[in-house]
Structure 1
């Protein structure tokens, strides 16, 4: 593993971290933690394996650990809020806000699969390897995540569809 390969994967790591965490400072911390973990476990990396998939897998596992661990919110008064660039129309901003809110309502398993497929444009096989789950599970979570996202954006509540089994 050389530094050029890591630098080539860095934009993907930052983009996925930003989508997972939702704010720049936390995303940068997640990327740093991912690279630190990868460096300490470099002996576990196999050269025939895609470096990006390996690093995204480490990032995913670190994010799951972060979610499970209780966190305390600390906001520095000295730091300025960074506004993300938006398109010029107000409706686009509202739609993006609604989409971010809807993504936040998805279960973590569905959101991770949806972000890897839609944002990172990964194949189902790549997502399965990254998350350590079967490819069929990836397709199932993606379908359920898309459907739940559509219902949330349409303003419908997703009612549990239960069948009576005899």
Structure 2
């Protein structure tokens, strides 16, 4: 079991961080996922693809966490809990702006499209694997992916940050 699951941990962390946008919460989520994998390892079907099965567990835990924290504000983090390297080393301003715009564009996507896009593009999963992870038909995977790519292209081609609506100036007499 360990030989099959351990190489997946970096990909699990990457996917969790992309979904939750919080390193600490993502690491906790991966830990919960790995606990469930160990607990239910013997109860899985032998014909299940291990990678799809593990990612399905992570995805379901992430969706539960997102629903649970949907209305809450940002988390309070004690300064002692933040690594010094995170406070000292910063990306260049231009990189930070590109990153912010990309994350805003991803946030503008519906959760269903974002999940499919991340699993296919970032985690390099096949459409069939994504369909198993999300428990949806493969045609739905393809249509959601197509819509997500189109929307990202529209957002990024416009050159306007996705989360910042354009304000219109007008003169008041």
Q: TM-score, normalised by structure 2?
A: 0.79
Give the counterpart of 1:80 among 71, 79, 82: 82
> 1:74/1:40 Cα in 2 relative to 1: closer, same or farther (>3 Å)?
farther
Aligned-pair CA distance for 1:99:
0.3
Aligned-pair CA distance for 1:141:
0.6
Alignment of 1:9-28 (within 5 A): 9-28=8-27
Q: How many residues align?
A: 155
Other-structure match for 1:29: 28
Q: TM-score, normalised by structure 1?
A: 0.82
Aligned-pair CA distance for 1:133:
0.3
Q: Given the alignment of the two structures, is residue 144 of structure 1 paired with residue 143 of structure 2, yes or no? A: no
Other-structure match for 2:132: 129
Aligned-pair CA distance for 1:62:
0.6
**Cα distance in structure 2, aligned partners of 1:151 and 1:83:** 32
3-state SS of paired residue (1:78): helix
Consecutive unaligned residues in structure 1, runs of 5 or more: 158-166
Alignment of 1:17-166 (within 5 A): 17-70=16-69, 73-80=75-82, 83=86, 90-153=93-156, 154=158, 155=160
Higher relative contact order (Cα pairs below 8 Å, separated by 6+ residues): 2
Q: Which has the larger radius of gyration?
A: 2
3-state SS of paired residue (1:83): helix
User: CA offsets per residue over residues 97-126 of structure 1, 9 Å max, x none?
Assistant: 210111122111010000001101111111
> 1:4/1:156 Cα in 2 relative to 1: closer, same or farther (>3 Å)?
closer
**Cα distance in structure 2, aligned partners of 1:156 and 1:20:** 19
Consecutive unaligned residues in structure 2, runs of 5 or more: 163-173
Q: Given the alignment of the two structures, is residue 7 of structure 1 paired with residue 6 of structure 2, yes or no? A: yes
Contact 2:101 2:161 in 1 (8 A): no
| Farther-moved stretch of structure 1 (56-65 vs 143-152) | 143-152
CA RMSD, 1 decimal: 2.4
